[in-house]
Amino acid sequence: MIQATPALRTRAVLNAVYRAGMAIARFPSVVIDCPDAAALAQFYAGLLDWAIEESSPDWARVRADYGQCLDFQGVQGYTPPQWPGQEVPSRCISTS
């Protein structure tokens, strides 16, 4: 006799939910503010080997074959975050 593992039970529940027509978010999107959405999408598409789905200076999206995506939102006058803040100097950590 085959015993149902938690993963099989989870899949069975998800399949039942899909058959019932209920939506479940499986790949939430992350939106990153930036000065040029198209340029940042081009960078991440190359870095991650993902496809560019849409691209303009104001909005762009890259997506993996398995569905995960990153969205980039162009913001006029964008000021990048500074880390660490000016009050705390940068530190170098040695692992040796």
Give the span between the Cα atoms of 81 and 90, in whole angstroms: 14
Both tokens of 43, joined, read: 């960078």
Q: What is the pLDDT along the chain (96 residues), one digit of tens a residue?
A: 556 665 555 666 666 666 666 666 666 778 899 999 999 999 999 999 999 999 998 999 999 998 889 999 999 998 877 776 665 454 444 443
The whole model's pTM is what?
A: 0.60
Both tokens of 10, joined, read: 């989870």
Domains of the chain: 27-79 (3.30.720.120)
Three-class HEC string of 34-49: ECCHHHHHHHHHHHHC
Q: Which residues touch 76 (CB under 8 Å, ≥6 apart)?
A: none
